[in-house]
Chain A
Amino acid sequence: MKEEDSKSPILRMLFYLLVVVILVFNLFPFLYAIVSSFRPNADLFSTDLIPKAFTLAHYDEIFKDTRFVTGLFNSIIVAGVTVLISLALGSLCAYALGRLPFRFKGPVLYIVLTMTMFPQISVLSGLFVMLKALDLFNTRQGLIVTYLIFSLPFTIWVMTQYFRSLPRELEEAAYVDGASPLEVFWKILLPLTVPGLVSTGLLAFIAAWNEFLFALTFTVTDQMRTVPVVISQFSGATSYEQPWGAIMAASMVVTIPLVILVMIFQYRIVAGLTAGAVKG
């Protein structure tokens, strides 16, 4: 199923049909959201797929709102730093767990996993108290620290698996040549794990980008708030009304950085092992 060379025309057609189905299934709600973001308020609840009227008012509205722009900025920092720390710390730890002799691999992995198993709501007040005590409340650093609860165990688990799956022959050759374990990590193994790093990085970034509960609780001023919280504060004339158009527009804007990230990194996800490096 990997190569496209020898398939019969029927199978090819079925394959492309599958591709189309996947695309439609994934994108339809997104298209609906895009269309809604351009609809004027009065038409928001009509069921026409192609809007009769077109307006940029919602986009105008959200960009004029300084909280939204600040929110974008904060989200980028928080999600970005969380991912960087997780990848750095996590892949080093994963290298050790996947490749180096260590007696307590199993227990470590499970302890690390346990940390991430708690429902978010249960650790909310404990973290609140802790952040206040450490003077990290209402700071981006504080939020980053709490996001590590999810992203670090996740990175460690996925990357450990990745390191484990790499063939031994590569290292052995390097050790024979006198390399230190860290050099082996840095020069040989890490580059091969780029697909894993990219996948984990993207998923962790998106999770941190869209996280709501911790962001709501641990940041309180408009300067520090991230984008999901800002969107939740959008309100119409009264708190009963939901400014659907503005929310849709904001969601579109919020999804764009993620799409850009994926565009940049997606080709690295399937680097694959080149046969040559192993056989030699």
Chain B
Amino acid sequence: MAKEIDLMERQRRLAWFLIVPAVLVVFLVIGYPLIQVLVYSVLKYKLDGVTPPSFVGLGNYLFILTDSDFWHAVAVTLIFSVFSVTLEAVLGLTVAMVANSKFKGRSFLRIAILIPWAIPTVVSSKIWAWMFNDIYGVVNVFLTNLHLIPQKIAFLATPITAIPVIIAVDVWKTTPFMSLLLLAGLGLIPSDLYEAAAIDGATAVKQFFSITLPLVMPTLLVALIFRTLDALRVFDIFYIMVGGQGNMATMAIYNQQWLVSFLDAGIGSAASVIILIIIMIFVVLYTRFSKTSFQ
């Protein structure tokens, strides 16, 4: 008995010892910037080197929340996030399961599936933008040569065609992230579970729903959380492919515009805080949904 309690105590102490340094590191790095963002968000502060900052309370927040451009950006970001994360999860799991299977050339597959994630975003976005070019792009050339479309389409010129293209490119680029995490997660599932199920006569589909999915769910959830965080903050891919088109700005582009282009640290910081809150809402939703708790 005493030995057990002693063990618990040692474990408890060790836990503190292991957790605190990591948390401290993160605090120290992000602490000052975080405070700065919060402070600036309640100031009217133009970075022109001349105007001194002044306190405006919630003025910046009100400006943003009544700005139709902001809500438009939120809509674009949400549509993008929902579609790309869903597609990436489904495709990622599929690819992970294929890569998990035993077959010839699976090593090659495992390397190949990581390539899109490995190419720098600025480069791959440019490649895709070029491939969708309205006159020289391979996509247009291909489709017109096969007579699938009557004439070449300027894909990136309007939201109706541009946003699906951007989602497709993002799915191409980020599915590897999901696949890799899920592949590791699949490895946690003991193979004898499948053997036992097969002996009991369960079909592959049933095995998937009763064994694979539940057991990979925790990993899937973590992957989803991080993917969603990134999707809600998407910047590079939109910026490079559709540039400053106002009707296709994302929340991060809106944020950057106010902070950097318009030199307004007050509104820029307030926008950051609002974006943070929106992201937090998603995280809370995820954890409510998850059956595993972290307590």
Contacts and interface: CB of A to CB of B under 8 A. Distances in A.
Interface of A: 1-4, 15-16, 18-19, 22-23, 25-27, 29-30, 32-33, 45, 47, 49, 89-90, 92-93, 95-97, 100-102, 105-106, 108-127, 129-130, 145-146, 148-149, 152-154, 156-158, 160-162, 164-166, 175, 180-182, 195-196, 198-200, 202-203, 206, 210, 212, 228, 231-232, 247-248, 251, 254-255, 258-259, 262-263, 266-267, 269-273, 275, 278
B81 interface: no
B33 interface: yes
A149 B30 CA distance: 7
A59 to B, nearest CB: 16
Contacts of B23: 93, 108, 111-112
A206 B100 CA distance: 22
A33 B119 contact: yes
B101 interface: yes
B172 A29 contact: yes
B192 interface: yes
B128 interface: yes
A64 B78 CA distance: 45
Looking at chain A's contact residues, the main secondary structure is helix
Given A251-B119, A273-B188, A26 B103 contact: no
B22 A100 contact: no
B8 interface: yes
A163 to B, nearest CB: 11
A278 B192 CA distance: 11
Contacts of A149: 26, 29-30
Contacts of A108: 19, 23
A93 B15 CA distance: 8
A119 B252 contact: yes
Interface centre among A26, A116, A145, A232, by most chain B C-beta atoms within 10 angstroms, is A26
Interface of B: 7-8, 10-12, 14-16, 18-19, 21-23, 25-27, 29-30, 32-37, 94-95, 97-103, 105, 107, 109-124, 126-128, 131, 136-138, 141, 172, 176-177, 180-181, 183-184, 186-192, 194, 204, 207-208, 212, 218-219, 221-222, 225-226, 229, 233, 235-236, 251-252, 255-256, 259-260, 265, 268-269, 272, 275-276, 279-280, 283, 292-295
A231 B123 contact: yes
A96 B15 contact: yes
A119 to B, nearest CB: 5
A258 B118 contact: yes
A101 B8 contact: yes
Contacts of A247: 123, 126
Contact of A212 (B102, B122, B207, B260): B122
A161 B26 contact: no
A269 B219 CA distance: 14
B61 to A, nearest CB: 14
Which of B23, B37, B183, B191 has the most A CB atoms < 10 Å from its CB? B23
A109 B225 contact: no
A92 B22 contact: yes
B46 to A, nearest CB: 14
Contacts of B12: 100-102
Contacts of A160: 294
Given A93-B21, A96-B19, A112-B22, 19 more contacts: A2-B100, A2-B194, A26-B172, A26-B176, A33-B123, A89-B22, A100-B11, A120-B233, A126-B32, A127-B29, A157-B222, A165-B188, A206-B114, A212-B236, A258-B118, A269-B110, A270-B183, A271-B187, A272-B188
A262 B110 contact: yes
B294 A106 contact: yes
Nearest to A160: B294
Contact of B98 (A18, A95, A112, A255): A18
Nearest to B105: A19
Contact of B116 (A29, A124, A162, A165): A29
Contacts of B181: 158, 199-200, 203
A102 B16 contact: yes
Nearest to B120: A210
Contact of B255 (A101, A110, A121): A121
Given A3-B102, A93-B18, A96-B14, A266 B110 contact: yes
B125 to A, nearest CB: 10
B111 A196 contact: no
15 contacts: A1-B204, A2-B194, A15-B98, A26-B112, A111-B23, A115-B34, A120-B235, A121-B268, A123-B37, A152-B25, A162-B184, A162-B219, A202-B114, A269-B183, A270-B186
B243 to A, nearest CB: 14
A32 to B, nearest CB: 6
